[in-house]
């Protein structure tokens, strides 16, 4: 197996401010009666080992966390840019300030950011519990204005299905690409949606 | 099984190995490798889950000496006996594969499918089904 040619999906810390009901993190909380998941922040030393090996693409997409909370994340983004590695970030949590996002976007202008905002920003917290959807939406627009490639990821649920067409029009107006996702996260069966 | 685990029954239901053919996405498709915040690599994000971590073969990937922090180079981990044996098993003896592999990588199991893509001069809207 040539593992060096594979895309690496890195969970760079164990923290998240959200409590999305179907997230593995929340499952872990319920199964273990805890509010923490085990793990540590990925160090720059260990991240460099990854960049020395994986040359194709790095994805920061937490399975149990959100990548923005690693203390050295901005430096990691810069390292990816310096190494010319394709970089993707999937984020939905809030808790960082606007200034932090500006630094992050400047650290790697070639990174592709995917923002998980499920529905109109003011309603996204109905699944993304604790999320400040309106702030995150502003950060998505900021990234777009700073010239980064951004995606608006919209998981379709019962509560936001009726807003989907309006949000599609809005994304067109903003010239932001959209990823509409039908997922097992919804309590409704995938086959119950009219998605075609 | 306690009440909490009962609520995750769907997660614990696995396809019948004898009726399914395994087609691992980590071999036949461009499945992403995963590095967890515990410092362990796994062939995909699905097996890095406490519901599956104790399954045969999977638990061997979570030995202390396979942690990134305990290795100078990433390649040393993938050259380990555990990783080599795991992929030899998937290729040569797939009936031995753990249930989680059959759950997500039985032939025909779709975990990610693009169903629509609308592009115009302003943006692109992609619709996908994801597990």
Residues A172, A178, A180, A186, Cα dihedral to 10°: -110
Give mean pLDDT, residues B59-71.
97
Q: pLDDT band for position B131 (50/70/90)?
A: confident
**How many Cβ contacts (< 8 angstroms) between chains A and B?**
129
Pick the residue of B8, B11, B35 with the most A CBs within 10 A to test the interface with A by mutation. Answer: B35
Question: What DSSP line would sit under A55-84, residue for residue?
Answer: -SEEEEE-SSS-GGGSTTHHHHHHHHHHTT
List the one residue out of A182, A170, A95, A181 whose CA is nearest residue A139.
Answer: A95
Residues A103, A109, A112, A114, Cα dihedral to 10°: 30
Q: How open is the CA angle B104-B107-B113, to the nearest 5 degrees?
A: 65
Partner residue facing B36 (CB), from A11, A31, A182:
A11
Residue A125 tokens read as 């917290």
pLDDT in tens, B114-125: 888 999 999 999
Task: Identify any residues that bridge with B90 across adjacent strands, giving them in sequence order.
Answer: none
Looking at the complex, report in whole angstroms how far the Cα of residue A19 sits from the nearest Cα belonging to chain B. 17
Decide if A39 and B37 are in contact by the 8 Å CB cutoff: yes
A196: contact with B, CB 8 A cutoff: yes
Q: Which residues, including other chains, have CB under 8 Å from residue A119's CB and lie 6 or more apart? A: A126, A133, A154, A157, A159, A160, A163, A167
Q: pLDDT band for position A67 (50/70/90)?
A: very high
Average pLDDT of chain A? Answer: 93
Rounded distance between C-alpha atoms, residue A61 and residue A47, angstroms: 15
Contact A87, A111 (CB under 8 A): yes
Contact A169, A152 (CB under 8 A): no
Q: Rounded to the nearest 5°, which phi and psi values hold at A24?
A: -55, -35
Eight-state DSSP code of residue A14: S
Task: Identify any residues that bridge with A112 across adjacent strands, giving them in sequence order.
Answer: A88, A149
List CB contacts (< 8 A) between B48 and chain A.
Answer: 63
What 3-state class would DSSP assign to A154?
strand
Give mean pLDDT, residues B62-81.
98
- Closest-CA residue of B relative to A65 is B37
Rounded distance between C-alpha atoms, residue A169 and residue A120, angstroms: 12
pLDDT in tens, A134-160: 999 999 999 999 999 999 999 999 899
Interface of A with B in 23-62 (CB under 8 A): 24, 27-28, 30-31, 37-43, 46, 49-50, 52-54, 59, 62
pTM, full prediction:
0.91
- Closest-CA residue of B relative to A59 is B32
Q: How many CB atoms lie within 10 A of CB A29?
A: 16
Q: Rounded to the nearest 5°, which phi and psi values hold at B11?
A: -65, -25
List CB contacts (< 8 A) between A8 and chain B.
Answer: 32-35
């Amino acid at each position: 197996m040539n593992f060096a040619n594979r895309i690496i999906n890195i969970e760079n810390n164990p923290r998240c401010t959200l409590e999305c009901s179907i997230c593995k993190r929340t499952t872990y909380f319920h199964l273990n009666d805890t509010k923490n998941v085990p793990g540590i922040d990925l160090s720059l030393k260990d991240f460099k080992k990854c960049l020395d090996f994986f040359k194709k693409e790095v994805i920061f997409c937490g399975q149990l966390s959100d990548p923005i909370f690693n203390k050295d994340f901005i430096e990691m983004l810069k390292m990816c840019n310096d190494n010319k590695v394709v970089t993707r970030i999937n984020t939905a949590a809030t808790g960082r300030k606007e200034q932090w996002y500006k630094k992050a976007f400047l650290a790697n202008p070639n990174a592709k950011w995917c923002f998980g905002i499920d529905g109109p920003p003011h309603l996204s917290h109905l699944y993304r519990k604790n999320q400040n959807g309106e702030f995150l939406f502003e950060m998505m627009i900021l990234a777009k204005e700073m010239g980064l490639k951004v995606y608006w990821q919209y998981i379709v649920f019962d509560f936001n299905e009726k807003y989907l067409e309006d949000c599609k029009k809005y994304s067109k107006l903003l010239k932001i690409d959209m990823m509409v996702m039908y997922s097992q996260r919804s309590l409704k069966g995938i086959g119950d949606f009219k998605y075609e | 099984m306690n009440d909490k685990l009962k609520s995750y029954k769907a997660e614990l239901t696995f396809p019948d190995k004898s009726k399914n053919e395994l087609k691992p996405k980590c071999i036949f498709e461009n499945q992403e490798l995963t590095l967890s915040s515990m410092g362990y690599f796994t062939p995909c994000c699905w097996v890095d889950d406490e519901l599956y971590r104790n399954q045969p073969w999977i638990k061997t990937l979570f030995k202390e000496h396979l942690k990134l922090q305990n290795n100078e180079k990433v390649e040393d981990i993938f050259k380990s006996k555990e990783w080599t044996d795991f992929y030899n098993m998937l290729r040569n003896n797939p009936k031995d594969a753990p249930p989680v592999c059959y759950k997500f990588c039985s032939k025909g199991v779709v975990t990610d499918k693009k169903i629509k893509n609308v592009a115009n001069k302003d943006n692109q809207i992609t619709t996908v089904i994801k597990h």
